[in-house]
A and B are shown apart, each in its own frame.
Chain A
Amino acid sequence: MFTFIIRRVLYSIPVILVASFVLFWAVRSTFDPLAKLRQAHDPSVIQREIERLGLDRSIVEQYFLWLKAFVTGDWGTSSRTGSPVFQLIGEALWPTAQLAFWGLLVAVVIAGAVSVYSAVRRYSLGDNLLTGASYLGIAMPAFWFGLILIQTFAVWPKEQFGLAEPPLYFVGLHSPGESGFNLDYLRHLVLPVAALMIALVATWSRFGRAAMLDALSSDYVRTARAKGVPRRQIIWRHAVRNSLAPFVTVVALDAAVLIGGLVVTEQIFAIPGMGRLFLDSLVAGDVFVLLPWMIVVAIAVVICNLLADIGYALLDPRVRLR
């Protein structure tokens, strides 16, 4: 297994390098790193920056200059805030990681349960209802669902029952003056986690159901049934385990997307995560943040792929033999 992981990690390095060069080239071609300075109309400042960034050199030279600084932890300074980019991304990663962690955890549990139920009770009323709900979940835009949640679970109960404060909060991850893992945190967490997980549950439960049905109709399950293995054992020991491998792959890939893809959820719930950072930087044309941001997300994708591979290998020993 160790060799397998090392091999996968080594495979990842050229992937990240190629991805980083493509991103670097794309960002340099699309954004003008001097755009903000041009508004100051000071030619000497612009010239200094051209020399500092090596903008008068070839794109390959610029890339290696940037890469050298990046790997040594010098991610530059945001043109928008004047803060170190490393610090900005680090601060933004933490709230996003919290949201992604809780969202994934809850979504995996619910999607897993729905998958098994729907596959085992195929075409039952419950299965049909869950199938309909899944399509609804896939179709609902995140911003709309987020606002519906806010209205239903925060604003409406407060107004309807004359409460002093809403039962669930939706501004940030803590109230002013609060911090840490406590009731205030949980009251802030419920709605954004619900908003982000709805599409995940909807998609994964469809995928999980199909994988489970595939497993349940396989030869080894038929053999187990013929041998008189109890139904519960067939489902949980054989079908679920075998359907988990493709399920884990999908979960891992979607998890990577969450690191950079929670723009809408973070915007609605005022959470200062990676999505908000990306949006703010994009609007401001802050190329110094955008590029490292993309590289971090690309690395997250590679890491999640790696985890998917490892999970796959753990669940299916045949993978390690290849």
Chain B
Amino acid sequence: MQRSQVSPPTRRRLVHAAAAIIATLAVVSVSACSTTSAPPSDTPNTTVTEGGELVIGAEQEPDCADWIATCGGSIWGTYVMQIPTMPAVFETRLVDDVWSPVASDLMSEEPEAVMQGEKQVITYRLNPEAVWSDGTPITSADLSYTALQIRDGDDIFDKTGYTGIESIETPDPQTAIVTLSGPYAGWRSLFSVYGVLPAHLLEGQDRAAIMKDGYDFSGGPWKIDSWNRGTSVTLVPNENYWGEKPHLEKVTFMFLPDTAAAFQALKSGQVDALYPSAQLDAVKQIEAGLPGISSAVDARSGNLEALWFNNSVAPFDSKAVRTAVAYSLDRDAIVKRLFGDLGVESAQQSFNTPIVGAFGSDDFSVYTTDLDRVDEIMTADGWKKNADGVWAKGGETASFTLNTLAGNKRRDLTVQIIQSQLQGAGFEMDIKAVTPADLFGTIAPQGDFQAGLWAIVDTFPDPTLSSSFGSANIPSEANGFSGINFYRVDVPELDPLLAEIDSELDVDARVAASQEADAIIAEEVPSIPIDTVPNVLLWSEKVGGPLSINPVEGPFWNLAAWGLAG
């Protein structure tokens, strides 16, 4: 499952598969620090004092706080309100240096999934100590309510997994038994990405109306004290939380949309921490040095930017052209230009993001700049360079338009570099800036593009290849333009492997299928991965605690452990 992260928002990718990720992730992690050395996770374990307040800069304001609705898709909403307040069945935690889904303390034991014939049955046992902020126990009725709201509701952000729920039984308040119509490897994302809603407060009520502007219930360590639209969200401790209680008395997230001003606010002490997206101006500021500010940079993100091709239209309906373009690009140079100052210099070599790296391989690493190989491939396919030095065949030139999202300086630079590199290889590329709503609402679903540069963001450690590359997910009139295989990838030998990744419950078999699929994708070059956007966390000397970036739940996943530096 994916949520939008940066402005303009990225497209979420549907999750059709899941399994425990225990194997080692292929990661690239870098730490950078202006005043102290900061590893990518569990940075300074400073002693903290009890009480006090922190103000944290947030670069985006969530549109609404009804997390299961379409308006609740902002990743910043997840970071600042959802994660601190909503109980979830699985949390993403670092296990043997790998971010993995682990059962939260909402559960009394690890949920169990078994196949009974063709059906998958999942048993959840809730911790009897788990209560909502009003003291009411969190029960199986809450799981049942949540599942049915998502499965049967209108205006739901993403129903993946929930549509397969045939029944949900609640034999006692602490036990919920969910029966799925078929095998669903991604079952751990159920009640984890959205969390669990309080049935006793919402059942029979207008859930959207109660939640969209912030809610006063909580099943996490924090409660929403106030949300002043456009200005700030303030969290205070949930006194009835059954786990470790927060050290701080209050945390305020101030919305600071301008990156340069946000850095000044950090330097001037108006905010105590920042989690800026790795835009060019942010990278410059960090590289220039921030006195008194510590930083952590982690390239293990789920935010993958790629050069996407429409495989059903010229010139990218030709495998030769796609392959030649891959050999025309110097992707490492692009990444170095974008994130080199943060110490990140290697291109992404798989469509599995680093947070699901165990499922991927590095098959795209064969594609480095090789203009002789480009000439060879294009000539063999019948192309010849015209007087302008552009490849031409049968009266058509290897020219195309690349769609990119307006207003993102880093992507502007990326497409300019790509344009320049491709020009040198004999490809002519125009750039067209579009809005996210147009791109993901109309242009991409209807296949009205040749190429594009945008990001997909994984929000749960589970592979999502099938949603992007499975032929069943090609949007068409027949399926109401659903599915996000905007790239019209239809490779017969790929589909069975993607189906296996989605349904196989055995982790090893699933990893093997995924890596095989990755190899086929690299061979067919339906698109080209460019980079994963590193995560950056900055904080002042005032902040203490085990600060680290959780690539799935964000930098504030352990906010309860933060405090004023003692």
Contacts and interface: CB of A to CB of B under 8 A. Distances in A.
Interface in A90-107: 91-92, 95
Contact of B212 (A82, A269, A273): A82
Majority SS at the chain B contact face: loop
A165 B269 contact: yes
B438 A285 contact: yes
Contact of A172 (B63, B232, B441, B480): B232
Interface stretch (A2-10, A14-22, A61-69, A153-161): A153-161
Contacts of B234: 176
Interface string B96-140: 000000000000000000000000000000000000000000000
B481 interface: yes
B208 A82 contact: yes
Given A176-B252, A276-B257, A81 B64 contact: yes
B356 interface: no
B260 A147 contact: yes
Contacts of A174: 231
A166 B270 contact: yes
Nearest to A285: B437
Contact of A82 (B64, B267, B481): B64
A151 interface: yes
A270 B264 contact: no
Interface string B288-314: 000100000000000000000000000
A40 interface: yes
B71 A82 contact: yes
A38 interface: yes
A10 B264 CA distance: 49
A142 to B, nearest CB: 12
B254 interface: yes
A32 B230 contact: no
A26 to B, nearest CB: 16
Given A36-B437, A171-B271, A272 B229 contact: yes
A39 B258 contact: no
A174 B213 CA distance: 21
B268 interface: yes
A142 B419 CA distance: 32
Contacts of A158: 267-269
B493 interface: no
B265 interface: yes
B8 interface: yes
A176 B7 contact: no
B258 A38 contact: no
Nearest to B257: A267
B127 to A, nearest CB: 33
Interface string B424-466: 0000000000011110111001000000000000000000000
A82 B436 CA distance: 18
A170 B271 CA distance: 11
B71 A81 contact: yes
A150 B270 CA distance: 12
Contact of A155 (B154, B230, B257, B264): B264
Contacts of B51: none
A42 B229 contact: no
Contact of A81 (B212, B265, B445): B212
B276 interface: no
B378 interface: no
Contacts of B252: 176
A171 B265 contact: yes
Interface residues of A, number: 54
Contacts of B213: 83
A230 interface: no
Contacts of A38: 441-442, 445, 481
Contacts of B435: 282-283, 285
B66 interface: yes
A158 B466 CA distance: 53
B270 A170 contact: yes
Interface string B179-221: 0000000000000000000000000000010001100000000
A241 interface: no
Nearest to A276: B230
Nearest to B234: A176
A32 B64 contact: no
A36 B70 contact: yes
Contacts of A291: none
Given A36-B441, A38-B445, A41-B482, A155 B232 contact: no
B212 A270 contact: no
Contacts of A272: 229-231, 255
A150 B261 contact: yes
Given A92-B230, A169-B270, A267-B258, 18 more contacts: A32-B438, A32-B442, A37-B441, A40-B155, A41-B445, A41-B479, A43-B480, A81-B64, A82-B212, A143-B258, A159-B267, A165-B269, A171-B254, A172-B232, A176-B234, A267-B257, A284-B437, A285-B435
Interface of B: 7-8, 53, 55, 61, 63-64, 66, 69-71, 154-156, 208, 212-213, 229-232, 234, 252, 254-258, 260-261, 264-265, 267-271, 291, 407, 435-438, 440-442, 445, 475, 479-483
The 10 closest A-B pairs by CB, nearest first: A272-B230, A285-B437, A41-B482, A35-B441, A35-B437, A38-B441, A176-B252, A166-B268, A43-B480, A81-B63
23 contacts: A36-B441, A38-B442, A39-B440, A39-B445, A42-B154, A81-B71, A83-B212, A91-B229, A92-B230, A95-B230, A150-B261, A158-B267, A158-B269, A165-B270, A166-B268, A166-B269, A172-B231, A267-B261, A268-B261, A270-B255, A280-B61, A283-B7, A285-B437
